[in-house]
Amino acid sequence: MLHHTHTPLRATTPRLFRTTAGRPLAMLRNCPAYEATPLHRLEPLAGKLRVATLWAKDETQRMGLGSFKALGGAFAVAQMISDVAATSDLTSQQARNAAADMTFITASAGNHGLSVAAGARVFGARAVIVLSTSVPESFAERIRTLNAEVVRVDGSYEDSVAEAMRLAETENWLLLADGSWEGYIERPAMVMEGYTVLAEECRADFAMARLWPTHVFLQAGVGGLAAAVAAHIREFWDEQPHIIVVEPDAAPCLMASVKAGDLTRAEGPLSNMGRLDCKDASLIAYDSLRRDAESFVTVSDEEAAEAVALYARNGITTTPSGAATLAALQLIAPGQNSRCLLIVSEGGT
C-alpha cells in the first residue's frame, strides 16, 4: 500500500462543476427506473474490521445498469439534448427532433459507455462507444443491446480515449468523456453533476438517522465519482469526515498528481480493477480533490480480490473495482470508534 497524507488546499477559485444534485434529481424523478440505492449497515463486518459502524452504499443494481455510472452519462446526454432543443421537456417533438440529429461518442472502461448508450436510446439519439481490448466482451454485448455501436481498439483505456477524440473530430460527433483536460471541461462536468445524486442520497439518510460517518472511502479511476462525492460532502453535509481516495497500485494517477502539484500520468501494468485502471486523472477531479481529500491510498489486485470475497460472505456481489474501498479500509484500520462509509460502485460481471 502507498499512503499519501495530504493537507487540503484552501479553495481560491470556484469549482469546475456543479456540486448540487438539484438538476439531475429533477430529471431523474421523471424516470421510472430511478430510486435511491440501499445504504446497508453491515454490523457483523464492522465487528470483524473493528470499527464502530460500517455503511456500504450499494450501487450494484442502480437503474438496471448495475453501477453508479448510470447517474452520470445518461444525465449529461439528457442535459445536452435539453440545451440544444431549448426545452426541459425531453418527451416533446422539439427535443426528439434535436436528439435525432445528435451522435454521442465516448471511450469507456465499461460502465460509462452503458450509461451514455442508455441515455441516447431513451431520448432518441445515437451512441458510439469505444472500448479497448482490455474491456470484457460482456460489456460490449450489454452496450450493443442498448442499440449503441461498439468500436474496438487495441491497447489500453488511454488508447480508446484517443480514438474517441479522433472519431469525434473527423465525424463531427459529440464527445462525451467522463475525464476532462485543458479545454474540455463542460461536458464531463455534467457527468460529475449526475454523480452528486449518490452523495445527496447518502446525506439524506445520515441526516435522518442523525449519525454521520467519520471516514469516507472513495474509489477513483479518472476521479469523477470521488471528486463529485467529496465536493458534495464538503459543501452540504452537517458533519465533516476524513476523506480517503482509493486507487489501484497500478494506476495511482490522482495520488501522483496531488504529490506533484500538477496532472501526472501514472505508469503501471494492467489491473484487475478494470474500471479504476486509468493512468491519467481528470483535470476537474484533480482540481477538486486536492482541496477536499486528506488521504490517497493504493490497493493491490490481490487485496481487491480478497475484498470481493469478503463482501460476498456478507451478501454483496461486486468486482475488484467495487470492492477497492473495502480493501483500503482493511489496510488503514481507522479504529474502533470510527464510522466508515464505503461505496460498492458496481455489481459483479
Q: Which pLDDT value is given to residue 111?
A: 87
Q: Assign 260 a pLDDT band (cuts: 50, 70, 90).
A: very high
Non-local CB neighbours of 49 within 8 Å, separated by 6+ positions: 329, 330, 333
CA separation, residue 212 to residues 242, 246, 339, 340 (Å) = 11, 20, 7, 9
User: Which residues 6+ apart lie within 8 Å of 225 measured at CB?
Assistant: 68, 195, 198, 218, 219, 343, 345
The reported pLDDT for the residue numbered 71 is 94
Cα separation, 16 vs 283, in Å, equals: 9
Order of strands, edge to edge, in the sheet holding 339-344?
Answer: 3-5, 295-299, 242-248, 215-219, 339-344, 53-58, 39-41
Give the per-residue pLDDT at 173.
98
More confident residue, 26 or 8: 26
Give the E-state strand segments of 101-249 in sequence order: 103-108, 126-132, 149-153, 174-175, 215-219, 242-248
Rounded-to-10 torsion of CA 71, 238, 230, 325 = -90
Q: Which residue type is seen at 289?
A: L
How many other CB atoms are there within 10 angstroms of residue 238's CB atom? 9
Residue 79 has pLDDT above 70, yes or no: yes
For residue 340, list its beta bridge partners. 54, 215
pTM: 0.94
Residue 305: how many other CB atoms lie within 10 Å: 17
Q: Are 128 and 151 in contact (CB under 8 A)?
A: yes
Q: How many angstroms separate the Cα of 14 from the Cα of each of 10, 123, 234?
A: 11, 32, 13
Query: How far apart, in whole angstroms, are the C-alpha atoms of residue 247 and residue 325?
Result: 9
Distance of CA 331 to the CA centre of its chain: 22
Enumerate residues 6+ apart whose C-beta is below 8 A from 115: 65, 67, 69, 70, 71, 72, 73, 74
Coil, strand, or helix at residue 316?
coil
pLDDT > 70 in the chain, percent: 99
Q: Which amino acid is at 257?
A: S
> From CA 320, how far away is CA 248, in angstroms rounded?
10
Q: What are the start-end ranges of the E strands in the chain? A: 3-5, 39-41, 53-58, 103-108, 126-132, 149-153, 174-175, 215-219, 242-248, 295-299, 339-344
CA distance linking residue 314 with residue 329, whole number of Å: 16
Joined together, the cell numbers standing for residue 245 give 481516495
pLDDT of residue 331 exceeding 70: yes
| 273-305 pLDDT, tens digit each | 999 999 999 999 999 999 999 999 999 999 999
**How far is residue 99's CA from residue 121's CA, in Å, rounded to a whole number?**
10
Q: How confident is the model at residue 11 (pLDDT cuts 50, 70, 90)?
A: low
In the chain, how long is the greatest CA-to-CA distance?
A: 57
- What pLDDT score does 2 carry? 80
Residue 5's pLDDT band (cuts 50, 70, 90): confident
Dump pLDDT digits (tens) for 50-61. 999 999 999 999
Q: What is the pLDDT of residue 349?
A: 63
